């Protein structure tokens, strides 16, 4: 079973997240994408991050009716800092050896990956898919990852993937990049500007009804 894990703050989830998940699902023939809102993201300033219960509720509203998308509250339930290695291990433990994981992230998140907990072991636990903008110039792995991680990869040009000694892979894939961010949405709400079409209508309604982000 091929599953995509898409972690994030989702403060709030938006069409950029949803579209990239959809394109990666199709490209890698994934059975499902699981959106996993973090409790406390280790690499972000906590200021302005609304409660996990609001963030997962918005994820659930955004994916409602799509059988290919689901959510997990595993990081929220674990509370404290949300480390991806622990989340990946949780899914592996729950589903056993049938599970093939693809951990999805944008380039902006990948750039910081050397600061992630157990970065050296991450790539032997899951495949990784880094979404990139069309026309983006390929970065060198050694500019981002520590030497003892880079040396475990070899590049396969036919399949355009970096193969790890664990036999799992690291992929960089162009997606339709929608220039939308959660921070841009929060700023627009604060300035009382329209956020229509940047995120699903149901999520916009939820934000309005609950009066969130007005003072963030
Ligand atoms: P913020 O603006 O608050 O920093 P964000 O919009 O970057 O938030 P996150 O929840 O931090 O959203 O991102 C979760 C994941 O989604 C990250 O891997 C990030 O790279 C990716 N991502 C964010 N925005 C987009 C987008 N427009 N298209 C594709 N991927 C995105």
Q: If the chain, 216 residues long, is cut into consecutive pieces of 10 residues, what is the mean pLDDT of each piece?
A: 96 97 98 93 69 96 97 88 88 86 94 84 93 77 90 94 96 93 95 97 97 84
Find out whether the beta carbon of 109 lies less than 6 Å from any atom of ligand 1: yes
Residue 187 falls inside a structural domain:
no
Find out whether the beta carbon of 55 lies less than 6 Å from any atom of ligand 1: no
Residue 76 falls inside a structural domain:
yes
Residue 90 falls inside a structural domain:
yes
Give the integer Cα–Cα distance in Å for 64 and 59. 8
Range of the structural domain that residue 47 is part of? 2-180
DSSP state of 196: B
The neighbour count for residue 121, using CB atoms within 10 Å, is 13
Token pair, residue 66, equals 């799509």
What is the CATH classification number for the domain harbouring 122?
3.40.50.620
Token pair, residue 13, equals 């989830």
Residue 96 falls inside a structural domain:
yes
Residue 214 falls inside a structural domain:
no
Residue 97 falls inside a structural domain:
yes
pLDDT for residue 216: 59
pLDDT for residue 44: 62
Concatenated DSSP letters of 59-124:
HHHHHTT-TTEEE--HHHHH-SB--HHHHHHHHHHHHGGG-EEEEEEEHHHHTTGGGSTTHHHHTT
Find out whether the beta carbon of 17 lies less than 6 Å from any atom of ligand 1: yes
Find out whether the beta carbon of 131 lies less than 6 Å from any atom of ligand 1: yes
DSSP state of 141: G
Asked whether the beta carbons of 84 and 122 are under 8 A apart, the reply is yes
Residue 213 falls inside a structural domain:
no
pLDDT for residue 214: 86
Question: Maximum CA pair distance of the chain?
Answer: 51
pLDDT for residue 114: 85
pLDDT for residue 215: 76
Residue 74 falls inside a structural domain:
yes
Asked whether the beta carbons of 20 and 175 are under 8 A apart, the reply is yes
Number of structural domains in the chain: 1
119 CA distance to ligand 1 centroid (A)? 20
Concatenated DSSP letters of 2-71:
EEEEEEE--TT--HHHHHHHHHHHHHTT-SEEEEEE-SB-TTS--TT---HHHHHHHHHHHHTT-TTEEE
Which CA distances in Å does 164 have to 67, 108, 114, 168, 180?
31, 22, 16, 5, 32
pLDDT for residue 186: 96
- Going by their DSSP bridges, the two strands 69-71 and 100-106 should be labelled as unpaired
12 CA distance to ligand 1 centroid (A)? 10
pLDDT for residue 46: 64
Token pair 């609950």 is at which residue? 210
- Residue to mutate, 14, 27, 108, ligand 1, most ligand atoms under 8 Å from C-beta: 108
pLDDT for residue 80: 74
Which CA distances in Å does 128 have to 57, 67, 144?
26, 23, 14
């Amino acid at each position: 079973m091929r599953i995509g894990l898409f972690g994030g703050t989702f403060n709030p989830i938006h069409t950029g997240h949803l579209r990239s998940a959809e394109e990666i699902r199709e490209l890698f023939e994934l059975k499902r994408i699981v959106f996993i809102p973090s409790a406390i993201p280790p690499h972000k300033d906590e200021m302005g991050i609304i409660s996990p219960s609001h963030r997962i509720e918005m994820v659930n509203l955004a994916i409602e009716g799509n059988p290919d998308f689901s959510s997990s509250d595993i990081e929220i339930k674990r509370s404290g800092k949300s480390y991806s290695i622990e989340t990946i291990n949780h899914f592996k433990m729950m589903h056993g050896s049938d599970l093939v994981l693809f951990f999805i992230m944008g380039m902006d998140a990948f750039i910081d990956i050397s600061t992630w907990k157990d970065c050296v072991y991450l790539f032997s636990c899951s495949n990784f898919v880094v979404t990139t903008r069309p026309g983006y110039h390929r970065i060198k792995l050694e500019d981002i990852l520590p030497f003892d991680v880079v040396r475990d990869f070899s590049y396969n040009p036919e399949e355009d993937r970096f193969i790890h000694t664990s036999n799992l892979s690291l992929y960089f894939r162009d997606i339709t990049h929608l220039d939308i961010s959660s921070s841009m949405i929060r700023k627009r709400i604060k300035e009382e500007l329209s956020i229509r079409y940047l995120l699903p209508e149901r999520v916009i309604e939820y934000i309005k009804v609950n009066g969130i982000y007005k003072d963030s």
